[in-house]
Amino acid sequence: MTVIQARTVSFIERLASDLNEKHLELAAFPDSVIRIRQAIRDEDIGPDEALSR
């Protein structure tokens, strides 16, 4: 078994354990990511404006 396969198996085992215990915590998608994506798409926003949003 490769290192990647072993890590994948470990991840799936921990996920299954969390699901069985009904204790699943997912990382939140922070608002900052959404604001960064919007700023990148808007060609009229400069770096200073993007950071102040």
Res 2 pLDDT > 60: yes
Record the tokens describing residue 17, joined without a space: 């354990």
User: Hey, CA dihedral for 35, 39, 45, 47, is it positive or negative?
Assistant: positive
Tens-digit pLDDT profile for residues 9-44: 998 898 888 888 887 676 677 777 777 777 778 777
Return the ∠ at Cα 6 (arms to 8 and 10), rounded to 5°: 55
- The reply to whether the predicted model has a pTM over 0.75 is no
